[in-house]
Amino acid sequence: SGKVDLQEQNIVDIEELVKLCTRMEEACAGFTRFDFCQILDATENFSEKMIIGWGGFGRVYKGQLPHGLVVGIKRFDHRAMLSDFSNELQLARLRHTNVIRLLGWCIHGEERILVYKFMHNGALDHHIFDRIKGPLLDWSKRLKIIKGLVEGLVYLHKHPMLSIVHRDLKPNNIILECDMTLNISDFGSAKTLSPDVTEEHTCRVVGTSGYIAPEYAPRGVYSLKTDVFSFGILVLETISGRKNTILDNRGDTVGDLVRDAWRMWKDRRLHELVDGSLGHGYDIAEVAMYAQVALLCAQEDPVDRPAMTDVAAMLSSESMSLPTEPKEPSALSEGGAGEDTYINRSSRTIDITITSSATVLTRVRLIIDQEV
């Protein structure tokens, strides 16, 4: 009793969405409805100076409630589908240190708003890719972030009711508290899998270039291994302070960071992978273990990727040697005549274009939203 199963929800209008939110409020302790006037006061009428983040579904504002509680307020824009909002409602029934806490909701006319616990240190990308904040993120803090990400994903993938696939893991969606405790956020793209289902298909592929699993982008196939791939990329980026770039015009499926890291791992040059701002303040044996696990997670074939429970076991082992070696990424092509790359920054909807000038269809390109 009290369980609300979102897997088969077919939300077609605002009225149904209000009813769903009301049922979630009744079923989930600590999840409450906010008055729209409260939201306006907290955000100073959605002032631009209160914006702390944005994405494909809307903007996030910092707000302070009358009793002093600071919160994050997500205002969904007109491009967001009702299902994007209802997907996030899954968070109301989740309780984990490393998953963002959803506190409440507000629907007023066309306004769709969710209220979250506020995380004072912002998103991970503001730290690992920043010249000022990067050096402050020492090796122990980076390990804490990786371990928190592992624990959060194990919780989502092994949830007792339904396994949750995030589908859009990236540094922007990993937010940090003052003590660098990590929270996984932005579940607008999340999907649930029944215990007896290993993978599903979708015609609406969402995500960000550099983090999307090779089987997901072209075929719309997603599974728990989709998140495992993104996790591997996040670990390599956290170690190196580098972004993973997909070389679309050369048939790349995993990214330049994965290729470089694999070569460094093979040649035992992993000290070259480590963010230079760390100096010598790291344990090379730990770097080798975490990098190898990351490369195993970033394998092109999902069958070759470990489950997150296996990742947790490998990283908690006292042994620094791992039983499996990552396979070398596929070789890049030399590119083709008439190929071009276009990234649509205004929409998460996937378009398909033919990018070869040959008379025979040789390649299909997915155009994927990439945030600035």
Could you give the residue numbers annotated as active site? 168
Cα 247 to Cα 360: distance, rounded to the nearest angstrom: 23
The DSSP string of 61-94 is EEEE-TTS-EEEEEEE-TTS-HHHHHHHGGGGG-
Phi-psi category of 351—alpha, beta or left, where left has phi over 0 and alpha has psi -120 to 50? beta
Cα 185 to Cα 173: distance, rounded to the nearest angstrom: 5
At position 53, the amino acid (one-letter code) is G
Angle subtended at Cα 359 by Cα 358 and Cα 360, rounded to the nearest 5 degrees = 90
Cα 71 to Cα 91: distance, rounded to the nearest angstrom: 15
**Residue from 12, 173, 156 nearest 85 by CA:** 12
Cα 102 to Cα 327: distance, rounded to the nearest angstrom: 39
